[in-house]
């Protein structure tokens, strides 16, 4: 039994997000309903070894002509060099506009494969088959595709909506515990943004999802997709409400960049969790959020084993406050060099704060432990 949700908006074709168990074995029939052309599965080497045989067998049974293209695992693959290599292989395969790309993997694969699909022949169809919790609840839905540059994360990309998203809960059983917790950070973020009862469930009865309980994970993924799809449908290009989904990300992206995108030090989900904690504390600093709400938010993040202080990550105390602020000023939400943050008036009450005072933010970051 699976749950099917529809993502729709005025600027793109509606598509389905299916959440359930055992879905990889059924993927061929779903892809065949979208194309009878050729299919290229893009995956990283680790995921291809784990789940590639099931996917390829399903596509083969459906009578689809299929190739698999692998990339090295890790954030470093979200680069111009790897994007060029992937597009070159698609050209070598002589794909045309009726063919289709399958992004099988986590957020790195989804971002890179989605951007390659957006650029190839000015855009061909692709579907997302996210294999990490973080990708299932966040990056696979909404059409954001991008690569990183030395100047920051996700600064080069395109909006390119998938034709379908298939989120198989069973694949999450293969995730290392740290990666599962990282995905849980994005789930908690959704509650912090706009659904206080959901956050309360996640921090209470649903907390077992952070350690792999399939029933809790399925409920968490479904609700997260509901939240994100509703917001994306209202604001595909992040001109308004969609920006709220970046709670914790401006702080987090700046930290990731300063630490060299080293996932052994700080994963993306950990950066988001730490960023959410910092955003709540800064909201209290501005007298926008009650201390009790900050305590509840931070406690929920910490209980899931996620970092909530700079001192909890290696090298965190060596990060310069001024450097973080420079990174934040170059964030995609900044306008005319003016700092913009997503802050909160309480759990479930995120808001956009424009024209943030750089000096005050720098001093706050020093109180957080930055040098």
Active site residues: 122, 144, 186, 228, 238, 242, 246, 249, 253, 268
Alpha helices (H) along the chain? 27-32, 45-61, 80-92, 107-119, 133-134, 177-194, 196-203, 214-234, 249-258, 268-285, 291-303, 321-329, 358-367
Which pair of structure tokens corresponds to residue 301?
């993040």
Which pair of structure tokens corresponds to residue 36?
């009878």
**Cα 345 from chain centroid?**
24
Q: Which residue, chain included where needed, has tokens 């997302």?
A: 128
DSSP state of 77: G
Q: Which residue, chain included where needed, has tokens 């995120």?
A: 350
Nearest to 41 by CA among 58, 55, 30, 29: 55
- Asked if 126 and 34 touch (Cβ cutoff 8 Å), the reply is no
Spatial distance between the Cα atoms of 367 and 38, rounded to a whole number of angstroms: 55
Nearest to 200 by CA among 188, 213, 208, 209: 188
Spatial distance between the Cα atoms of 146 and 189, rounded to a whole number of angstroms: 21
Q: At 71, which helix (H) or strand (E)?
A: strand 65-71
Spatial distance between the Cα atoms of 115 and 106, rounded to a whole number of angstroms: 14
The DSSP result for 315-344, as a single string, is TGGGS-HHHHHHHHHTSTT-BTTBEEEEEE
């Amino acid at each position: 039994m699976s749950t099917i949700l529809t993502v729709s908006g005025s600027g793109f074709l509606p598509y389905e997000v299916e959440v359930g168990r055992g879905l990889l074995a059924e993927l061929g029939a779903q892809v065949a309903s979208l194309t009878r052309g050729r299919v290229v599965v893009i995956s990283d080497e680790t995921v291809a070894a784990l789940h590639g045989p099931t996917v390829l067998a399903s596509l083969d049974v459906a009578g689809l002509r299929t190739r698999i293209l692998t990339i090295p695992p890790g954030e470093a693959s979200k680069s111009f060099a790897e994007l060029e290599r992937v597009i070159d292989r698609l050209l070598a395969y002589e794909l045309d506009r009726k063919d289709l790309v399958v992004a099988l993997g986590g957020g790195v694969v989804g971002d890179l494969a989605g951007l390659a699909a957006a650029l190839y022949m000015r855009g061909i169809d692709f579907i997302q088959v996210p294999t990490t919790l973080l990708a299932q609840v966040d990056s696979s839905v909404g059409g954001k595709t991008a690569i990183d540059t030395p100047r920051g994360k996700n600064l080069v990309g395109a909006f390119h909506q998938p034709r379908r998203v298939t989120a198989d809960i069973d694949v999450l059983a293969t995730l290392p515990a740290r990666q599962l917790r990282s995905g849980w950070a994005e789930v908690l973020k959704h509650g912090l943004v706009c659904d206080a009862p959901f956050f309360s469930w996640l921090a209470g009865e649903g907390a077992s999802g952070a350690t792999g309980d399939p029933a809790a994970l399925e409920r968490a993924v479904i609700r997260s997709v509901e939240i994100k799809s509703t917001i994306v449908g209202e604001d595909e290009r992040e001109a308004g409400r969609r920006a709220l989904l970046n709670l914790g990300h401006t702080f987090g992206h700046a930290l990731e960049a300063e630490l060299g995108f080293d996932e052994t030090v700080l994963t993306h989900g950990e950066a988001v969790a730490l960023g959410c904690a910092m955003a709540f504390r800064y909201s209290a600093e501005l007298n926008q959020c009650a201390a009790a709400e900050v305590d509840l938010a931070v406690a929920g993040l910490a209980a899931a084993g996620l970092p909530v202080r700079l001192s909890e990550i290696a090298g965190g105390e060596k990060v310069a406050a001024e450097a973080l602020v420079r990174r934040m000023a170059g964030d995609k939400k900044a306008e005319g060099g003016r700092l913009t943050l997503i802050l909160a008036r309480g759990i479930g009450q995120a808001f956009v704060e424009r024209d943030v005072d750089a000096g005050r933010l720098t001093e706050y970051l020093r109180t957080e432990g930055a040098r």
